[in-house]
Amino acid sequence: MLERLELLLGKENLEKLHHSTVLVIGVGGVGGYAVEALARSGIGKLLLVDPDKVEESNMNRQIVALTTTLGRYKVEVLKERIEAMGLSTVVQVSLEFVTATTLPEYLENVDFVVDACDTLPTKFAIIKECLERKIPFISSMGMGNKLDPSKLSIMELKNTSYDPLARRLRKLVKDSRLSGKVMVVASTEEKKISEEKTIPSNVFVPGSAGFLCASYVVNQIISR
């Protein structure tokens, strides 16, 4: 089923992907599309962690959101979707809200981590643990209030701009004196002005960010 991907990557690289395990924390607007791309890229095992259910407010941007999936757990919807692809990817799911305390148990025997959660303490815990354990990872920054997907890039956290979440993370990393590159997907687009309490969003910015996360994972794995 992945013949065209094999033509692009070669059999040896496809085998590398098949024997890799990727942990994805958060499967909403960014994480859902990252999971989709990772499965279709031949990743052998996916560990999906997210406690949330599909809501109507997800309809405008999340791949899991359909009228038929409302009220269902997002990770379970994604697991069914991947299994329906007929690929050999093994999917394990957890409904736990990941904290600094529970995170270590998920990091055993994983080759890569995609951080697509939106909770600052959890994001920092992922960065800290992955750096200390030398586990490759990619972290998604804030995708709300953005309109231009062409402004997205893979960069080091220290080079981010116009992103309040990244700014807070930079301070945490600096204050903790963590060493090592913190690679993120972030936008250089200036924040749109909105007086609404609800963060404005669309499908193409978080979706593109999810694909960038997946592309980084795949390219890092095959370059080893």
pLDDT tens figures, 105-144: 999 999 999 999 999 999 999 999 999 999 999 999 999 9
How distant is the alpha carbon of residue 9 from its chain centre? 22
CA atoms of 45 and 97, how far apart (whole Å)? 21
Please tell me the pTM assigned to this model: 0.96
Tell me the C-alpha distance between 96 and 89, whole Å.
Answer: 22
Structure tokens at 101: 């305390």
State the pairing for strand pair 152-156/183-187: antiparallel
How far apart are alpha carbons 29 and 179 in whole angstroms? Answer: 29
**Model confidence band, residue 193 (pLDDT cutoffs 50, 70, 90):** low
Query: 46-80 in b/e burial notation, b at 16+ Cβ within 10 A?
Result: bbbbbebbbeeebeebbbbbeeebeeebbbbbbbe
Domains, the chain, ranges and CATH? Answer: 13-222 (3.40.50.720)
Convert the pLDDT of each residue in 29-44 to its tens digit.
999 999 999 999 999 9
